[in-house]
């Protein structure tokens, strides 16, 4: 999508720090991390959020394997948080589906 920051990162128009990539996902460091590890798992296809997932996106479910792999690469497998801000009221700022993987310190209670 033309005006989407994450599409621009995925196609290389905007630079990012890559953690992992495969055919369906690009994982990058968040530009404004809230913990020592704060990565963003970007789905390579532009959909807004979980509400737009359909059975055309069956490859999306592989995100859970990617998250596990990222935790291993980042050495946080003993504890990390996976966050999805789904929609405006949940604080979603970028309307391209992505999961946050956060860890590397003791995390407080959620919300």
98 annotated active-site: yes
Q: Measured in Å, how far apart are the chain's first and last C-alpha atoms? A: 31
12 contact, one of Zn ion, ligand 5GP, none, CB 5-8 Å limit per kind: none
Angle at 93 between CA 57 and CA 104, to 5 degrees: 85
Residues 53, 37: Cα–Cα separation, whole Å:
27
Positions 20 through 79 that interact with ligand 5GP (CB under 6 A): 28-32, 40
Smallest separation (angstroms) from ligand 5GP to the CB of 58: 23
Note the residues at the interface with ligand 5GP (CB under 6 A).
5, 14, 16, 28-32, 40, 85, 91-94
């Amino acid at each position: 999508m033309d005006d989407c920051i994450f599409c621009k990162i995925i196609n290389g128009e905007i630079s990012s720090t890559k953690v992992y990539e495969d055919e369906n996902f690009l994982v990058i460091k968040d530009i404004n991390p809230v913990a020592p590890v704060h990565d963003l798992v970007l789905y390579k296809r532009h959909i807004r959020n979980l509400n737009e997932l359909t059975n055309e996106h069956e490859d999306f479910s592989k995100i859970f394997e990617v998250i596990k792999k990222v935790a291993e690469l980042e050495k946080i497998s003993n504890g990390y948080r996976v966050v999805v801000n789904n929609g405006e009221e949940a604080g979603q700022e970028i309307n391209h589906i992505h999961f946050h993987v956060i860890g590397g310190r003791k995390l407080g209670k959620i919300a």
